[in-house]
Structure 1
Amino acid sequence: MITESLARRRTTIAFAFLRNPFRILSFIAGIPSRVRQISRARFRTGQLILRSPRTRWGCSHSSASGHAAEPDADWQTERPRPPRLTSKNRPEPDVEAELGAGSPGIDGADRVRMLAMSRRALSFGVVAEAYERFRLGYPVELFDLVMTYAGRPVRTALEIGAGTGKATRLFAQRGVTVTATEPDGAMLAELRKHVAADVKTVHAAFEDVRPGERYGLVYAAAALHWTNPEGRWSRMAALLEPGGVFASFGGPLQLADAAVEEAVRAARAPFLESDDVPSPDGTPPGHDMQWPGTELQRSEWFADVRQSVIVRRATMSAHDYVGHLSTISAYLELPTPEREQAFSRIMRVLPETVEIAADITVHLARRRCEQ
């Protein structure tokens, strides 16, 4: 009876195919999309699609938040990916169009500030050689701090806004395979002069980096404030291995002598009130936790947020100090005649050499193992 029933069904399907083959073929072609819909439905209800019982070393323990650890990359979940943004489908640097007038949590003042930040972010290419010459590099203490925090070997790293490669060299020369991204072509060209051939360079803004490969470390050296806040931390997490490390570091170069600092401030005042980059989220300077640590603490993607300061002092000639100022975006935005007048006035009030405070504020966070 069973054999007869199966034979009858096969005959029915065969006749149906002969009567309307296109209907059968379209049903078969639609199977993959139905499978994807089922997979997405499972993800939305919290069900995991498991492939392997192994867990990634370093993520087998509970995170600092007390949640269960996330499975290894082999324990796959159907997770939503950030949209793939490229220079073809993303206006650059049209932040106004990207955020939209009705973006939640972004008022008019925030939008104006982000538009100004976008313009400043792409202003460095005209002074790429001066940037390489006058900007300070990074000490080995920074590398040691990041590696100690990681607590395991870091083999691959993605750098955001690499500039001329000051931080690229710090990590690449110590065995880390670095992919350096930079949106300004002139800055990237200068970087390539100073790094080894095994450093991969990518001409792209952070927002244009496609998720795919995951890294043990993603870091930004005095560059994170130029990135778009919309989706910043979900993008960052998509680029990191579970348990991987995010690092942001940098800080202003300031005159150690208060009297000289005041004289310089007065000299530039007719042209520029301040040459600082304001805190992107408005955190006051005296707050215990500075940006981006404040955002990382609120992010669902990161845990174990830490802030450290590497104290650094240096002596520079007056000429080199003004050379450093010539690479600061606030001065680059001034019309050329005003910029030259400002530098001339500053030079007149400087002693032959100046003492510099160049402390590096470091923020570290770990990509949560569970999501």
Structure 2
Amino acid sequence: MGQGSAGQERALVFGTTAEQYDAARPGYSALLVDTVLDYVGNASPRALEIGAGTGKATVAFAGRGLPVLAVEPDPRMAEVLRRNTTALPQVDVEVGLFEQWQRAERRFDLLYAAQAWHWLDPETRRDHTFDALVPGGTVALFWNFAPMVDPVLHREFTAIDADYGTELGRLTGLATEFEGEIEATEENGWPSVDFAGDPRFTDQRSVRVRNGRTRHDADAWLSRVATQSGVQILEPERRATLLAALRRVLDTHGAGLDTEWITDVFLARRLPEQTQA
């Protein structure tokens, strides 16, 4: 996470509400883990997790028996991460920015990042990823989305989001917009655009994992909204006004909402040694 300026500051804002983040954010489905591990093709890959946060993805992957080294830049998030992985002795936690992390001679079969790749320095993140992987090793980058089902709620939430500039697209998008395949553009920052011209990574794939529909009550959904970086960086009074406006809309429409649970994942493989020139 983090590039060392405004981007890094925003990336580290999650630590100010680490407990709320842990309680409100969703985890990662067995289907997502299956998708990644099927691609890896290794029975027990050694995994490196970048920007591990409070351990949502750490628990999902280490729960399959994988040894995981979790790198997290924020000590407050790392404290919760350690607590959440107490029952998983194969998890090691190191605190620090990926850009400054000391790899030494360690290399991994799998490097993954959950909701974190976009916080890394775009000038160096692929180089660090390449160096951290064994030849033929896998990079897996994924994000959860929770687009809403009701188009009326979508329209009203989108208007509020635009007024406040909070960039809540992952939570205020419309489910029907996610019915097709992943669209990769520079504007949406999908990693295939970043990796496309890099010959060190092959077998690149973009996969949309559909995990089903979820019903949220107003409190749970608003708690999740409050953990988004675009909301956390607002002044407290403006943040409270935003959340109150969203609650009024929810109260008008039955105090809850349905969303689809979607995880988009980018997969690529470091070129095997014998293929490199």
Match for residue 317 of structure 1? Answer: 217
Q: Is the 8 A contact 1:268 1:345 kept in 2?
A: no
CA 1:265–1:331: 2 relative to 1, 3 Å:
same
Match for residue 343 of structure 1? Answer: 243
Q: 1:362 aligns with which of 253, 258, 265?
A: 265
Task: Tell which has more relative contact order, 1 or 2 (C-alpha 8 A, sep 6+).
Answer: 2
CA 1:126–1:315: 2 relative to 1, 3 Å:
same
Helix, strand or coil: the match of 1:122?
helix
Match for residue 135 of structure 1? Answer: 25
Match for residue 114 of structure 2? Answer: 221
Q: Is the 8 A contact 2:185 2:193 kept in 1?
A: no
Match for residue 175 of structure 2? Answer: none
Match for residue 174 of structure 2? Answer: none
Same amino acid, percent of matched pairs = 33
Helix, strand or coil: the match of 1:145?
helix
Task: For 2:51 and 2:206, locate their aligned partners in 1 and report how far apart those are by CA, in whole Å.
Answer: 21
Superposed counterparts of 1:145-160, under 5 Å: 145-160=35-50
Superposed counterparts of 1:1-371, under 5 Å: 95=4, 115-195=5-85, 196-211=88-103, 212-272=105-165, 274-276=167-169, 283-284=186-187, 291-312=190-211, 313-350=213-250, 351-369=254-272, 370-371=275-276
CA 1:94–1:137: 2 relative to 1, 3 Å:
closer
Task: For 2:29 and 2:60, locate their aligned partners in 1 and report how far apart those are by CA, in whole Å.
Answer: 8
For residue 140 of structure 1, report the CA deviation from its aligned partner.
Answer: 0.7
> 1:101-159: per-residue Cα shift (whole Å, max 9, x none)?
xxxxxxxxxxxxxx442221111001111111111110111111111111232331000
Task: For 1:243 and 1:256, locate their aligned partners in 2 and report how far apart those are by CA, in whole Å.
Answer: 40
What is the root-mean-square deviation in Å for CA atoms of aligned residues?
2.0
Helix, strand or coil: the match of 2:21?
helix
Match for residue 181 of structure 2? Answer: none
Task: For 1:158 and 1:273, locate their aligned partners in 2 and report how far apart those are by CA, in whole Å.
Answer: 31
Larger radius of gyration: 1
Task: For 2:89 and 2:41, locate their aligned partners in 1 and report how far apart those are by CA, in whole Å.
Answer: 28
Helix, strand or coil: the match of 2:31?
helix
Q: Is the 8 A contact 2:2 2:120 kept in 1?
A: no
Give 1 or 2: higher strand fraction.
Answer: 2
- Aligned residue pairs total 254
